[in-house]
Amino acid sequence: MSPAALTPEPSFQVRPIIKRKDQKFNFGAVVEGLDLNHISDDDVKRLKETIWTHKVIVVKGQKDLTPEKHWELVTRFDPDASQVHSHGNLETFQKKGGMLSKARDVYGIPGAENVRLVGKGFQGEDHYGLKNLNVKGLSNDFHADPPDDKDFHEGFTRFQRWHIDAPLYARDPAWFTTLRAVKLPSGPDVTIRWDDGSGLSMQAPPGLTAFFSTSQLYDMLSEEEKQLADHSWVEYAPYPYMWIENCKAPSTGLGLKSEGKEHTIEELGEYDEKDIKRYPCVWINPVTGEKAFQVHGLAARKLFLRSSADEQARVVDKVEDIRAFLHNIQSRVLRPEYIWLPEIQEGDIVMWDNYGLFHTAVDYPIKYGPRSMHQANIGASKGPVGPVPIPLVC
């Protein structure tokens, strides 16, 4: 039997996005011809491959997707995973989510609690059973030095917080995140400024999510840096988002300022050593084989650096040094030409590869209207795999 017979052609269309001349990012596609309320097992498999291949896809026209079917699809992407959101149930998330849960309101949709309502502003009298909610969204408060209110009101904003959707404790990061636009703001483009002295900025419609590729970042490294990245690993803090809940970001939203605001590990309370996450610095895409430099700088507590498998790793455990090391690398891709903000319409669902991208929200003035998004992902059944195994004893 030929491979084609085993994996039939998808019934949907995949259209890689057409970039402008000034755009150099190397990912992104639009998917049409799917009804996610009724999707065959073969198409689920093909959709998975499409996400791993194109990194960010916009599946058009899912206005009628029910939250129950949304969650069901997420579980079908990774049927061996525990049937819970990657950040755990809402109770755990509110208690231990630290920075993630205190910066904004997150609600479970009644009857499909693993689908989370995120957004901003008034959500209507009855949003899928949630009554009269006024949601506090992610904002530029995360910045140590946020834009002033007048500038923000006029549409000058920032990248909020570059990250991967990853608990980094107890559960492995979701392979994919899915984000359906139920209601979007409308208004003139916002201007996203770096405000770091570089003069860089870019424009986008309000209410979108920004992405850059960490495999494209890996390709920017020198040969020596690739050797180092391939053999090194990172240890994340227990309850990592509690650890840094009082920390603030530089103006680009990439990484954290080191102002001595991290909790001590003792302040985090009891934790289980076996739940501490140690991941390689480089994660391999299971479909394309691409390598991504995928280190979540916000939560990294120790780096173990070495350039070959038989070398003793050098431990970096001062947060200032960890952040400086990572910023030197990750800031290379933080340029307008490498960033994509998919332009979506209400009913579209964005799905992305959490193992090869960073993403961030971009706040906008509420005068452009509320934003309602349904987000769901699932802690992976199998965590990231690096180019070489990391030693068991650190």
Q: Which is nearer to Fe ion, 13 or 89 (CB)?
A: 89
Retrieve residue 158's tokens: 């920032």
Retrieve residue 347's tokens: 């009913």
Angle between helices 67-77 and 41-54 (to 10 degrees): 70
Closest separation in Å from C-beta 165 to Fe ion: 4
Q: Are 163 and 296 in contact (CB under 8 A)?
A: yes
Q: Are 217 and 293 in contact (CB under 8 A)?
A: yes
Dump the DSSP string for 126-170.
EETTEES-EE----GGGBSSPPPHHHHHTTEE-B---B-----BS
Q: Which is nearer to Fe ion, 254 or 316 (CB)?
A: 254
Q: Does 172 bind Fe ion (CB under 5 A)?
A: no
Closest separation in Å from C-beta 240 to Fe ion: 14
* Beta-sheet strand order (sheet of 201-204): 156-157, 190-193, 201-204
* Stretch touching Fe ion by CB under 5 A, among 85-93, 159-167, 213-221, 271-279: 159-167
Closest separation in Å from C-beta 138 to Fe ion: 9
* Of the candidates 180, 166, 211, 245, the residue with the CA atom closest to the CA atom of residue 342: 211
Q: Which is nearer to Fe ion, 251 or 377 (CB)?
A: 377
* Stretch touching Fe ion by CB under 5 A, among 62-70, 117-125, 157-165, 306-314: 157-165
Q: Does 353 bind Fe ion (CB under 5 A)?
A: no
Q: Which is nearer to Fe ion, 165 or 195 (CB)?
A: 165
* Stretch touching Fe ion by CB under 5 A, among 94-102, 145-153, 162-170, 225-233: 162-170
* Of the candidates 112, 154, 107, the residue with the CA atom closest to the CA atom of residue 131: 107
Q: Which is nearer to Fe ion, 51 or 303 (CB)?
A: 51
* Stretch touching Fe ion by CB under 5 A, among 97-105, 140-148, 161-169, 247-255: 161-169
DSSP 389: P
Question: How big is the site for Fe ion, counted in residues (CB under 5 A)?
Answer: 1
Q: Which is nearer to Fe ion, 228 or 299 (CB)?
A: 299
Closest separation in Å from C-beta 231 to Fe ion: 29
What gap in Å lies between CA 279 and CA 233, rounded to an integer? 6
Closest separation in Å from C-beta 192 to Fe ion: 17
Closest residue to Fe ion in the complex (CB):
165
Q: Does 165 bind Fe ion (CB under 5 A)?
A: yes
* Of the candidates 206, 209, 205, the residue with the CA atom closest to the CA atom of residue 178: 209
What gap in Å lies between CA 33 and CA 50, rounded to an integer? 14
Give the residues lining the site for Fe ion (CB under 5 A).
Answer: 165
